[in-house]
Amino acid sequence: MQVSNIVGRTELLSAVFFLLSFLVYSRSVCHGRSTSQQHSWLGLCLSVCLTVFSMLCKEQGVTVLGVVWVYDLVVHCQLDLVDGLQFLSLLLKHLLDYCKFTGLRKRKR
């Protein structure tokens, strides 16, 4: 058995758990509105477990949390993408200004 096969397996497992976690989350949020809250909580807990499995396979599995967050903002909160990008750029500008003001950037020696 070659080492590259083992690395490939971890990436595939991580990707499978990543996609399953996202699908379970999206289904539980959509079905949570029409069915009981217990079904919705079960789906959310299963999504968290799948995220943990994805992270155990490969550290990049934690990015499913960011994908779920953006999905929730765009689909369920109906955030306009243009407004969201403008807010993000403004936030980044203020963060960079704060870093310059406090001297958190690399200082010249």
Residues 48 and 21 in one domain: yes
Verify that 88 and 62 share a domain, yes or no.
Answer: no
Q: 16 and 46 share a domain? A: yes
In tens, the pLDDT along 21-41 reads 999 999 888 765 655 666 678
- Position 80 scores a pLDDT of 79
Residue 41 belongs to what domain range? 3-78
- Same-domain pairing of 28 and 38: yes
pLDDT value of residue 34: 59
Per-residue pLDDT at 105? 55
- What's the structural domain count of the chain? 2
pLDDT digits (tens, 9 = 90+) for 38-97: 667 888 899 999 999 999 999 999 999 999 988 888 887 787 778 878 888 888 888 888
- Please check whether residues 24 and 40 belong to one and the same domain: yes
Residue 51 near residue 64, CB atoms below 8 Å: yes
Shared domain for 74 and 98, answered yes or no, is no
Question: What is the rounded CA–CA span in Å between residue 61 and residue 65?
Answer: 8
